[in-house]
Chains A and B, each alone.
Chain A
Amino acid sequence: MTKKTLILSIFVLIAGFTATGQEGNIKFTEYDLPNGLHVILYQDHSTPNVITSLMYHVGSKNEDPERTGFAHLFEHLMFEGSKHINRGDFFKIVSSNGGELNATTSFDRTYYYEFMPANQLELALWMEAERMLHANVDTIGVTTQKGVVIEERKQVVDNAPYGTWMEELNKRLFTVHPYRWHIIGSPEHIRNSSFEDVYNFYKTYYVPNNCVLVIAGDFEESTARELVQKYFGDIPAGTTPIVRPTVVEPPLGREVRDVVYDKIQLPAVFIGYRSPAMGTKDAYALDLLTSVLSSGKSARLKTNLDDKGLAMQTIALNMEFEHPGALYMVAIANAGKTAEEIENAMNIEMERLCRELVSEEEFQMVKAAKEFEVASELTSLFSVANKLAEGQTYFKDAGRINNQLENYSQLTREDLLNVAAKYLVKENRVVLYFLPEPQNN
């Protein structure tokens, strides 16, 4: 239920109270190795822990349309071992030395991290260098991880109620841009991928000149520099040209509507609006509009759908995309309510945003919420490492972490109105109804 989730998120938030600075106070150093690896060092000596993270600038949008799901399959393969790390040992070495690790794949990047006791920094660097230089990309690993990824897809997409919503929206929102397929990809492509496909992907994208290395936590800079040089200094730069999609998705031009039948009980409406690329003024303005709709207790979707008994849950989700992407609105109907009823209520809110300025009070609310969000985020070492890597990967500017609020404080209510009228309109959106499958009897 909604409130429990909120409470949960507070604990998560609090879980972030660590030894870091305030807005504008993250002091880090950065430099490039001759092979192109960008290194960012951020020291925080409050507890004896250290994060080593690598962000490779490759995500599902770099994939061949006939080979979707590769970036993510690859993320799995990177745990299969390397020249000096036996298959299956990658996890074991980290955890039996007191650390934890994981990785995530998005449309735009793949991110790996080890969270270790401070005295194990060298181990983490050695391991990451191992898999950048000579990961075990072989047929056994590919076969195992194909199976795992196919089960992952079933668990998070196919077998989950409404699980296909983003895939269904994106394939209608985009016609030529690679955002049109889902990160997890098609099971058929994954099954059919050959060893060569996988190996070429590795040689192209897993190179130092396509990667940002962040070390954050309890370490001395001189030691870190030496170790980075020792393990990454002689890794050769990549020579295969890196494919970055340049295709520009034409405007949607008309409202697209469709119905998806799923094994569900409650109808739901999923709306996707085409949105601007991250880091643009429009994107910041849309982010605040998203908050007006769904972030606080008096947010518009909450008061006009949830609190009126129309919807069980509503969410406005402003995901960040490197290229112009999508903004999502979701409403799951209360029992007995129809998809039409909730869509109408959502439409009223969208139209109001396009017509009227948000109130002074609402404007203050979303800015206060943003200030708290940024302050909380900067108290987590993990978030800081991630933000630094993102700033460098997408904007070649890790320092963006220190002026996040500026981007919002420059905005006016008029900016919000203009952006609403530009993006939150019918001809810029796809509306999907998720309805229960017809019953047998």
Chain B
Amino acid sequence: MMKKICNIIALLFCVIVLHAQTVDRSIRPSAAPAKEIEIKDAQTFTLSNGLKVFVVEDHRAPIVYYSLQLDIKPALEGDKAGMRDLFTEVIGTATQTRTKEQLNKEIDMIGARINASSRGGSASGLKKYESKMLELLSDMMLYPVFSQEELNLNKEKARSALELISSDAGGIGSRLSNTLVYGSQYPDGEIETVETIDNVMVADLEHFYHTYFAPNVTRLVIVGSITEAEARANAQKYFGQWTKREVPVSKYVIPQAPPQTKVAMFHKEGAVQSIINLTYPIDYKPGAPDAEAISVAATTLGGGMTGRLFLNLREVHSYTYGAYCRLTEGEQVGLFSLSNGRGSGPSVKAAATDSSLTQVIYEMNNMISTPITEEELKGAKAFLAGYFGRSLMQSATLARYAVYIDKYNLPKDYFKNYLKRIEAVTVADVQAAAKKYFTPENAWIVVVGDKEHADGLKPFAADQTVQFYDFNVNAVAAPQTMTTDLSAEQIINNYVKAIGGVEAIEAVKDFKITASMNAMGQNLEVVRMFKAPHYSLNSMGMSGMVIQKAVFDGVAYKISGMAGNQEFTEGAEFEAAKAETSVCPEMNLLKSGYAVTVKGIENDAYILEVDKGSTKTTYYFDVNTGLLSRQTNVVETPQGVVQQVSEYEDYRLVGGILFPYTVTQKVPSMGVEMKMVVKDIVVNTGLSADEFK
């Protein structure tokens, strides 16, 4: 008894203690007072040869980073497109005094990362190896050797890289988008092909180096465990002897948005997803007066997991794993594009290719026609401010800001005033930016996907046309199906032979198939029975309960079950059921009186199209096995035209003929997919007519 009381007291005590601790979780905590964000200036100085140096000290780790950044506008590459990429691979592989092996070994011995490219070079590593690092970087940048052998090796790799991209939908999409948006008279639009890579010679690399590598067009950024005095001494010691020269500046044709929206497609056979993009050049340069309004507009539309694109395409529709947009500034031209967050356009469910674009355009127009809410404005501002605050955790950011101000000739306090400018943006500013920069009616819509989705894209084009492109971005005719000399009769005969031949088929007097099917998380039991000459039964049930049953007995076709009962003794339903009541209904196609057309070969399958009036059925017979691999029915329903797809796999021999053991049925427009797996098939067990009721 005493023990019990103790327990009760203990319990009471617990309750009291818990109660005292209980927090009202329904109250969302508010922010503590904001802390000041401090932006340190970078130290800058210029060497006598024109090299501008930017230094940010950060002594918290024993690491230093040096980066030489060329600021140039090189000539177009023309029929040598890809030259600068090859230059990047070859420069820094050997110098006048070091072979490739020596250089690689010396870099690795200090565990540093040192690289050169067509835009400059960089080195990072432990402070204790700083002088060695700089000796190597300076050697690579100032005394490079461009060898034929290294060029050949990298040409081979470049060709392989092209092959790699040609099997990557994202890579193809970016290639198409860039070329279409920028055009061939702008560096980002030039397109590398096997031929243009072949055209690059060692002399081209040398010419590029001697024309553009000069201290007077370069900035040196130094970040890390270093003092300004050390930085000065090192800059002078390792890059002071680099000689100044006159560097030419090229003029490009500035890309313009298309006057009306165009649709471009690359056909990727059997793609389960389409890569979509909607993209166009915009007039958005660094330091633009409406830059912060643009940032807020881009954030609201597609800046991360709270953007309207993400919420619509992913969270509401499950079309995609990620959909975002970007408004990128550029020194000469900016860009609007969609993104999957990893560098290509969003990958969307193939069946939702057109619906996804509809939603993207809807969201763009909505930003134009309706002001964003004050709450959205506040949220986007906080997001941008937070992002800015986090960017300062990296000392390299301070150097980057200093370079940006210098390069684009902006006021010294440009970044110090960034948060103030963000704060000043109004809802009206954002709508004005949306009007100016969101122009879905002057865009390129670029899709990489199976051509079966092309028709749905026509309405997006002002001219109602989907223009196909090949890998080298040449406009091509819509991909054609291969022709075949086989007649419908031959194809059907091949199929009949493949499943066992006429004799074997006719020897089947009855069969019963038991299967299970997964549909929307439920396990369904499926039974199919046939008995010659004219009995069939299809039933579908769940946990022993019949959901639907369809019986044909030669006289009537009866459907019964949870959705109600129906009976047909004539008409389309009756005729269809009658035709299906057979071991091999395809055998009778030619006798049916329907128009049967051979469409050719696609996807390794002969295609037969049968027009049954309100339904159009397409059969795909495998070229190699002769077997039916797929069947599509296009049915006109009150809700519009619906496509149903059945795929047949895993044929197995039972009672002398082949039956598919796996049948997948899909209604792509509704995202329905049901897989039926056969558990058992029995043949000629003497089913009685009584069982077909």
Q: Which chain A residues have a beta carbon within 8 Å of chain B's beta carbons? A: 1-4, 6-7, 9-11, 13-22, 46-49, 79, 83-84, 88, 91-93, 95-100, 115-123, 125-126, 129-130, 133, 144, 147-148, 150-152, 154-156, 158-161, 188, 191-194, 218, 229-231, 233-234, 263-266, 296-299, 303, 306-307, 309, 312, 332-335, 361, 364-365, 367-373, 375-376, 378-379, 381, 440-441
Inter-chain contacts of B315 with A (CB < 8 A) = 88, 144, 148
Asked if A6 contacts B115 (CB within 8 A), the reply is: yes
**What is the CA–CA distance of A79 and B322 in the complex, to the nearest angstrom?**
14
Q: Measured between C-beta atoms, what is the minimum distance from A199 to chain B in Å?
A: 14
Asked if A151 contacts B349 (CB within 8 A), the reply is: yes
Within 8 A of A (CB), among B377-406: 378-380, 382-383, 385-387, 389-390, 392-396
A-B contact pairs, 11 of them (CB 8 A): A7-B122, A10-B65, A14-B124, A17-B63, A22-B62, A84-B25, A119-B33, A130-B25, A154-B272, A161-B168, A264-B164
How many Cβ-Cβ contacts under 8 Å join chain A to chain B?
299
> What 1/0 flags go to B324-345 for Cβ under 8 Å of A?
0000000000000000100000
B169 nearest CB neighbor, chain A only: A159
Q: Interface on chain B toward A: helix, strand, loop, or mixed SS?
A: mixed
- Pick from A1, A119, A126, A133: contact of B161, CB under 8 Å: A1
**What is the CA–CA distance of A265 and B167 in the complex, to the nearest angstrom?**
6
Inter-chain contacts of A266 with B (CB < 8 A) = 160, 163-164, 167
Asked if B305 contacts A91 (CB within 8 A), the reply is: yes
- Pick from B29, B273, B392, B604: contact of A154, CB under 8 Å: B273
**What is the CA–CA distance of A309 and B30 in the complex, to the nearest angstrom?**
60
Asked if B318 contacts A312 (CB within 8 A), the reply is: no
Q: A18-B394, A234-B21 are in contact. Are A194 and B521 (CB under 8 A)?
A: yes
Inter-chain contacts of B392 with A (CB < 8 A) = 47
Asked if B109 contacts A376 (CB within 8 A), the reply is: no
Asked if B379 contacts A92 (CB within 8 A), the reply is: yes
**What is the CA–CA distance of A268 and B458 in the complex, to the nearest angstrom?**
38
A381 nearest CB neighbor, chain B only: B393
Query: Is B48 located at the chain interface by the 8 A CB criterion?
Result: no
**What is the CA–CA distance of A99 and B384 in the complex, to the nearest angstrom?**
9
Query: Is B581 located at the chain interface by the 8 A CB criterion?
Result: no
**What is the CA–CA distance of A150 and B61 in the complex, to the nearest angstrom?**
43
Asked if B113 contacts A265 (CB within 8 A), the reply is: no
Asked if B157 contacts A1 (CB within 8 A), the reply is: yes
Q: A17-B224, A100-B386, A121-B32 are in contact. Are A151 and B394 (CB under 8 A)?
A: no
Query: Is B306 located at the chain interface by the 8 A CB criterion?
Result: yes
> What 1/0 flags go to B101-113 for Cβ under 8 Å of A?
1011101111111
User: Which of B34-42, B280-288, B506-514, B585-593 forms part of the interface with chain A?
Assistant: B34-42
> What 1/0 flags go to B476-498 for Cβ under 8 Å of A?
00000010000000000000000
- Pick from A1, A96, A298: contact of B378, CB under 8 Å: A96
Q: Which chain B residues have a beta carbon within 8 Å of chain A's beta carbons? A: 18, 21-23, 25-26, 28-37, 58, 60-63, 65, 85, 88-89, 100-101, 103-105, 107-113, 115, 117, 122, 124-126, 129, 152-153, 156-161, 163-164, 166-169, 223-224, 269-273, 304-306, 311, 314-315, 318-321, 340, 347-349, 375, 378-380, 382-383, 385-387, 389-390, 392-396, 482, 518, 521, 601, 603-604, 623, 671, 675
**What is the CA–CA distance of A95 and B270 in the complex, to the nearest angstrom?**
38
B35 nearest CB neighbor, chain A only: A48
Asked if A369 contacts B164 (CB within 8 A), the reply is: no
Asked if A151 contacts B320 (CB within 8 A), the reply is: yes
**What is the CA–CA distance of A250 and B23 in the complex, to the nearest angstrom?**
50
16 additional A-B residue pairs with CB within 8 Å, beyond A17-B61, A123-B31, A381-B393: A1-B161, A17-B394, A97-B31, A97-B386, A98-B385, A100-B387, A119-B35, A121-B32, A122-B29, A188-B518, A234-B22, A297-B103, A298-B101, A335-B163, A372-B112, A441-B482
**What is the CA–CA distance of A309 and B115 in the complex, to the nearest angstrom?**
20
Asked if A3 contacts B89 (CB within 8 A), the reply is: yes
Asked if A379 contacts B60 (CB within 8 A), the reply is: yes
Q: Measured between C-beta atoms, what is the minimum distance from B95 to chain A in Å?
A: 14
**What is the CA–CA distance of A123 and B675 in the complex, to the nearest angstrom?**
45
**What is the CA–CA distance of A63 and B204 in the complex, to the nearest angstrom?**
57
